[in-house]
Amino acid sequence: MMIPKIFPETMLCLMRHGAIEATKERRFVGQIDPPLSPDGRKQSEWQGRQLMNIPFSAVWCSDLKRAYETAEIVCRDRDLAIQSAPELREINLGRWDGVAMSQIREQFPDLWQARGENIGHFRPPGAESFADLQQRAVPFIRRIAARSAGNTLIITHAGVIRVLLCQVLQMPLSQLFKIHLDYGGLTIIKDINGMSRVKAVNLYPALLTTDNLI
């Protein structure tokens, strides 16, 4: 089956922001806004060096602090304005945002089970589902791509990149967590002869070469 043309004559480089400060317990992190950790700043500097010879016509990022800070580091030696947008934010997790996963599992076992059974469409209280995120973020990325005259760098969040890949690859949202994305990893989507192709997923800075972009 042919993949629909989504990005006409453009290449998108989608980078997950750098690492944030870790906590002892795994927590839901959506639109809460922690800054980058020292490791996150190092990842961003490393990625910026690897991307130095790749020309970009535009740079976009989420307006959350961790994404904007990553963009500033990656692009500090480029004469490009960084454009930020709330449409590129991570999923809104409502009242679960910042809460330990173990606490939700213990206090709300029915909701925890419902989430596991329908990960793509489940909404925590006051929150978005991944389907909602896809409807918010992907059309905005399409508009960015349609306006672009060349390569575009978008620094955003794991959820945004996953729901975009699910659409391009025609994967159900129930499978989105099968896509592993590390902090600072790069995903490349390129339009070739009218077909959107995923050229790379979760590319580490040390593995990034010009050959990956051809």
Mind listing the pLDDT tens digit for each residue in 189-209?
Answer: 987 555 678 999 998 755 554
Domain 11-23+36-93+128-213 CATH superfamily? Phosphoglycerate mutase-like (3.40.50.1240)
Rg of the chain over CA atoms, in angstroms? 17
Closest C-alpha among 99, 101, 158 to residue 130:
158
* Separation of CA 44 from chain center: 14
Structure tokens at 117: 């059974």
Alpha-carbon gap, residue 46 to 38, rounded angstroms: 12
Closest C-alpha among 103, 118, 133 to residue 31:
133
Q: For 69-89, write each residue's pLDDT tens digit.
A: 999 999 998 989 999 999 999
The single residue listed with the structure tokens 């480089």 is 13
Is 0.85 topped by the overall pTM? yes
Closest C-alpha among 199, 202, 190 to residue 43:
202
Give 21's pLDDT tier (boundaries 50, 70, 90). confident
Q: List Cβ neighbours of 26 (8 Å cut-off, separation of 6 or more).
A: 100, 101, 102
Helix (H) or strand (E) holding 160: helix 158-168
